Structure 1
Amino acid sequence: MGFVLFESGQHRCVAYSDLVRGDDGVQANQFLIKHGDASALMDPGGALLYNPLVLALGRDVRPHEIGLILCSHQDPDIIGAIDKWLLYTKATVVCSKLWGRFVPHLVPHYMENAGRERYLLVDDEGARIPLGDAHLVALPAHFLHSVGNLSFYDPTSRILFSGDVCSGLVPSGREYAFVEDFEAYRPCMEGFHRRYMASNRVLRLWVDMVRDLAPEMIVPQHGMPFRGEAMTQMLDWLSRLDCGIDLLGPMHYRHQVTREATPAHY
């Protein structure tokens, strides 16, 4: 069942948060933005989620009528099933120009109508994306997990869809709800951000942009959404967080390796 983030007139934003089965993969959210007859699906995921997502979307939109597939970055939990969306819809894929030549590697060469005409490539400074008589904005979030990372802002709902930035690693099946107590929730975010964000300098640049934008909500690809005081506290924390290359030293680059690889446990 989708979680309605915003609904007013002909504009509707829905989150799907509970489609990952148990421990099969990391919990991930997918988002639908619908404006009249126009619709955009954000970060739809890989093969693990394709069938469950199609079934969930059926309550809100005819999946084959989706017009845009918005991709914040290139990971499998973002675009792993892009071949199916290209095959079964007429949607245009929106992604960073850095990944425009890599995404087609996920698409079989024999598929018709899956060439460059199906892509909108976003320059580093971002872009306006038409959605019916409204629009969305692709915003730079480069090096915040991916060198060509994007956030997507919906001016109508004033929701910032932040991708992996602001994400929390929560168990599958946790009830989707706005964060009320940031300090209690912070442990879900800390390890992920310290490892996957490039540096505090880049985080501060992104946070300054977001503060100037002043969204009503920040909704990440993993974990819970933010608004109000919890959102303010979360941005303050990000602006001070040492992460990525800030934490590296010679001890992380050694050629003497004694530890064996271990079986997967998520």
Structure 2
Amino acid sequence: MKSQLIVETPTHQWIYFGRDPEKPDKIIDTNQYMLVTEKKALLMDPGGIELFAPMLANIVKHIPLEQLTHLFASHQDPDIISSLGLWDQTLPGAKLYSPWLWEGFIRHFGMHNIGYEAIPDVGSRLLLDQVEVQFILPACLGKFPCV
């Protein structure tokens, strides 16, 4: 797995995590992104269980682990979130954001320590230091808040 800084501003960075081109053929390729602010970070679609160790190793190259305070899951598929049980043990004070629809599925991957914040159909906002993240669900495209 490799990581690459793709955006850097005075208030935040976007980091991309990509797979090793030598990955097993039967594993679905996914992309992970991390938004890093002064004191916090949000990891988006943290990946399948097979990615946990390389993701963790790459993240700590960029930030101290305690700075990773938030996770986001766009949906419940195993390639996106089956590593959640391991993140739950590693980041006990973190919070997971995901559309409300997926909560029942996501909990099957293990959530004993991480807090869960359901994103309603109208979308929601998250403030990481001075950076605002808007979660816009497909039904909300072009409108915030949805009406």
* Short-chain TM bin: 0.7 to 0.9
Asked if the contact 2:40/2:128 (under 8 Å) is kept, the reply is yes
Indicate the residue corresponding to 1:82 in structure 2: 84
* Larger strand proportion of the pair: 2
Indicate the residue corresponding to 2:11 in structure 1: 10
| TM-score (norm: length of structure 2) | 0.85
Deviations 1:14-59 (A, max 9, x none): 1011247241412211111001111000001111110011111121
Pairwise mapping of residues 111-190 of structure 1 onto structure 2 (< 5 A)? Answer: 111=112, 113-114=113-114, 118-141=115-138
Indicate the residue corresponding to 2:40 in structure 1: 38
Which one has a bigger Cα radius of gyration?
1
* Residues 50 and 24 (structure 1), Cα distance of their counterparts in 2 relative to 1, 3 Å cut: farther
| TM-score (norm: length of structure 1) | 0.49
Which of 88, 95, 110 is equivalent to 1:92?
95
Asked if the contact 1:19/1:49 (under 8 Å) is kept, the reply is no
| Relative contact order, higher structure (CA 8 A, sep 6+) | 2
Asked if the contact 2:30/2:80 (under 8 Å) is kept, the reply is no
Structure 2 gap ranges (5+): none
Indicate the residue corresponding to 2:71 in structure 1: 69
Structure 1 gap ranges (5+): 143-204, 214-266
* In structure 2, C-alpha distance between the alignment counterparts of 1:64 and 1:48, rounded to whole Å: 22
* In structure 2, C-alpha distance between the alignment counterparts of 1:76 and 1:42, rounded to whole Å: 14
Indicate the residue corresponding to 1:102 in structure 2: 105
Kindly provide the amino acid, as one letter, of the partner of residue 79 in structure 2.
D
Q: Aligned residues: percent identity?
A: 23
Q: Which runs of 4+ in 1 moved over 3 A?
A: none
* Residues 19 and 43 (structure 1), Cα distance of their counterparts in 2 relative to 1, 3 Å cut: farther
Secondary structure class of the residue paired with 1:100: helix
Matched, 1:23 2:25: yes
CA RMSD of aligned residues (A): 2.2
